[in-house]
Structure 1
């Protein structure tokens, strides 16, 4: 019975990542992770994703560092490995369960019967079939990135989290109008349930139309940074993001999409900073710029 960690070699979000697994028991794995201070969100079905700067701590705490091939072989032999064919369905189910729990925690002062139907409506909107990227997965990622910012000491309040739930709740591929409609949905839904911050949530949703918050507007800064954090993802995740965005514009020709997308990327690179909070600038600015620059170069090469 052993805890195993492989060398950090998978890039994402400005660092490299390793995997922590148990070769016998998920109970053992979760207990070790809790003692080591790994966040629950780092668990990915059969392993924990571990940033490079934590690997030495895990080894000191008792994990065995092994080659990636050995880790995979022992995880497979244990019967704990989640097969690739099963990962999407299992991940989707766990993600939905987590979202339901998160929504329930947002308004403990309200009756469940008044609050939970609003969350069900939102999850239905985020799961609409025409969404390629702005879907339930994106919603969950934004909330997780808000967790990252909070754990790093960034200050924001409940309206920022509520705004994350509503920020693309109306999505028809109409920049500006979608944010306006999502803001009005937030205002109406929250006012109807007596949420005092309804107008503030609507304001924050509108800020995501341009992702240019004032540094003193801490709620908007955290929300916008969490929304843009995908730009700093691993190359593989970034490629999935780009493909998802393309699927949302099936009516646009490849050439028109290439030109429009390239213009968006040039505007991003032309900013002094992509992110506003100090945590996001430190962790995500460089890898995000690298990803955006690579994509732009690829589009320009095709033009």
Structure 2
């Protein structure tokens, strides 16, 4: 793992700034930035903005100076890079605007959720995933991406599917199953003063659906939430490859052999578990491509083993 820095060439606030990145681990990047006195507020999804006056300090502390193009190339190859369009949508202000439109009068809840989704240890399970899941849900529900609205499935209460996605990874400590339970508990606690008891109960239930993505056949809202959460599996091959790199980066602390074995087991379980997508729209849009993506990744993992 290497921390990289490009020359200070980006003007803002009366000075020039460099970009400070890691080619493998956000945890390493955060630790390095803290060691040279760079504020956590200088972190911007995949890099730190470092003022010109601290450039020499960063290099002296071990950051490797590279050109801007090389830094961008290394960051992209790492899986940590957040592309421009996704970056704009994942910004805290953009996410808060979406939240305010969904649940007016609950800004305090939205602020907490946005802070949670931007926690520094997240790579895949961060704000970009939230935006992708919400936009995928909008596609399934027949809404324009980024525009909150009622669900179109009979029996679903307005907004509950969107609220479930906002909360489904709100707690992410890397403990499968327990993370979903804690996220559901958070939804129960934070929404109690903003929604009726039945609506809160439904959000909690839908958050728990993402534990195993196995909604009942007659569970329309559960199928929507499950499909939206898994939609990245059916993305274009280059986007899927970036997702796979993000997952590896999120578990950078796990040795390669152990990660390959664990990841391969997950992929085999997904491929052997029946249909990945439970809504007709999701199956049409993503099933075939998802199976091709999963199979290609599994083949690569097996070859490396």
Q: Is residue 91 of structure 2 the alignment partner of residue 100 of structure 1?
A: no
Name the residue aligned to 2:277.
275
Q: Is residue 127 of structure 2 the alignment partner of residue 136 of structure 1?
A: yes
Name the residue aligned to 1:12.
none
Q: Determine which structure has greater relative contact order: mean sequence separation of CA pairs < 8 Å that are 6+ residues apart, divided by chain length.
A: 1
Q: 1:195 to 1:154 in 2, by over 3 A?
A: closer
Alignment of 1:255-274 (within 5 A): 255-274=257-276
Q: What displacement does 1:195 show? A: 4.1
Q: 1:91 to 1:233 in 2, by over 3 A?
A: closer
Gaps of 5+ in 1: 1-83
Q: Distance in 1 between matches of 2:189 and 2:264?
A: 36
Q: 1:209 to 1:121 in 2, by over 3 A?
A: same
Q: Is residue 205 of structure 2 the alignment partner of residue 209 of structure 1?
A: no
TM-score, length basis structure 1? 0.66
Aligned CA-pair RMSD: 2.2
Q: Distance in 2 between matches of 1:107 and 1:172?
A: 26
Tell me the number of residue pairs that the alignment of Structure 1 and Structure 2 aligns.
Answer: 214
Name the residue aligned to 1:16.
none
1:8-47: per-residue Cα shift (whole Å, max 9, x none)? xxxxxxxxxxxxxxxxxxxxxxxxxxxxxxxxxxxxxxxx
Query: Residue 215 of structure 1 contacts residue 277 of structure 1 at CA under 8 Å; is this kept in 2?
Result: no
Alignment of 1:171-250 (within 5 A): 171-196=172-197, 197-250=199-252
Gaps of 5+ in 2: 1-75, 77-81, 144-150
Q: What displacement does 1:192 show? A: 3.4
Q: Is residue 129 of structure 2 the alignment partner of residue 127 of structure 1?
A: no
1:96-121: per-residue Cα shift (whole Å, max 9, x none)? 3442222112224xxx3xx0111011
The DSSP-based 3-state class of the residue aligned with 1:192 is: coil
1:202-244: per-residue Cα shift (whole Å, max 9, x none)? 1111110101111211111000000000001111111111111
1:115-136: per-residue Cα shift (whole Å, max 9, x none)? 0111011000000110010000
Q: 1:88 to 1:214 in 2, by over 3 A?
A: same
The DSSP-based 3-state class of the residue aligned with 2:175 is: coil
Q: Distance in 1 between matches of 2:225 and 2:195?
A: 23
